[in-house]
Amino acid sequence: MSFAAVIDALDLAQLRKQMAQAEPAQVAALLRRDRIADRELPLLFSPAADTLLETMARRAGAITAHRFGRIVNLYAPLYVSNVCVNNCKYCGFARRNQINRTVLTVDEAVKEAEILHAEGFRHILLVSGEAPRAFDVDQLEAVVKKLVGRFASISIEVFPMDLNDYRRLERAGVDALVLYQETYDREVYASVHEGPKADFDARVAAIEHGGEAGFRSLGIGALLGLKDWREEAVLTALHGRYLAKRFWRSRVAFSFPRLRPAPGGYQPPAPVGDRALTHMLAALRLVLHDAEVVVSTREPAALRDSLIPLGVTRMSAGSKTNPGGYRDPEGSGQQFAVHDERGPSEVAKAIESAGREPVWKDFDAAFIDAPKT
């Protein structure tokens, strides 16, 4: 059963009631336990849990230290195209926006990657707008094959694919898939998406195809600001548990993308504050002890630094959100404005100041993979 069917079977009215009626004593009891049942998850994200945020944060930090040690992995996104066939209301790449559209060639993408490699990055995330005809699977595969010997981990955050294409990229050397559902509310989803991406069920199914393809990591998240964060957080938690159970060989990665200023000027109807983001991050660590917790340069430097001890295991640094941005920052339109503009070395120092160890490489496919045929 797809997670879309799980969503449809939920009694969301009861979920909201459970959060609204939660008592701090109930939440405190949860925080003393190692295991939290799915039916209890609304308590963890309830207003009552706000009163215990400090306790929750300490617990999240302890779990992270036990499971991951003191490391924080550094990665960088590499945008290969900002062409998109969708008209998502919140996105700078939306088809209606008058921005400078750029599609990198395979060689240009490799040159961008070499800049990141020279800065020390060994984990890279390939990103594009959703326009398969602009930068297709063949081109992605070609880029991956040129980078696989230089980078320990190559992730993709591009257009949804079918199982065969994901398997093809996994064989080429991609080890991680990132695919945000954006919102788990069907009505809100329909109101902000126009184009192929408007198919809610196909979006949910795509990350499951990634699990079937055997990617080592499956990255999910709700785009924070589209609706009430508490309900989105519960469904993100349930989604993470679903993926972890069904695709037990893959590691789930939680991200917390808050809407940022972007071309088009979209204003989020339900802005998410720093305390709410902190609550969500700490609670999701309690939900899945072994999940990666990712915080990107969408967030301001001071907040990112304060979140490190709570459970962060992966951070981007020095990010550019436009294709070709590392060679020419102004040469093409960006997806959104980054908030933390520090360079990679500055972010690494901040991680050290938080008592953690910045790590540029913590994985190599040679450790676990047989030769690919």
| Block mean pLDDT (10 aa), the chain, length 373 | 95 97 97 95 98 97 96 97 96 94 97 97 97 96 97 97 98 98 98 97 98 98 97 98 98 95 90 97 97 97 96 96 93 91 96 95 60 46
Supply the pTM of this predicted model: 0.95
Which region, left, alpha or beta, applies to residue 184 given φ > 0 means left and ψ of -120 to 50 means alpha? alpha
Residue 370 pLDDT: 47
Pairing of strands 217-220, 153-157: unpaired
CATH, domain 3-362, list 3.30.1330.10, 3.30.1950.10, 3.20.20.70, 3.30.365.10: 3.20.20.70
Residue 363 pLDDT: 63
C-alpha to C-alpha distance for 99 and 73, rounded to whole angstroms:
32
Decide: 197 and 88 in contact? Cβ < 8 Å: yes
Residue 371 pLDDT: 46
C-alpha to C-alpha distance for 217 and 289, rounded to whole angstroms:
15
C-alpha to C-alpha distance for 275 and 344, rounded to whole angstroms:
26
Residue 195 pLDDT: 97
Residue 366 pLDDT: 55
Residue 372 pLDDT: 47
Residue 373 pLDDT: 44
Residue 364 pLDDT: 63
Domain locations along the chain: 3-362
Residue 276 pLDDT: 97
**CA atoms within 13 Å, Cβ hemisphere of 53:** 14
Residue 365 pLDDT: 62
Residue 342 pLDDT: 96
Residue 252 pLDDT: 98
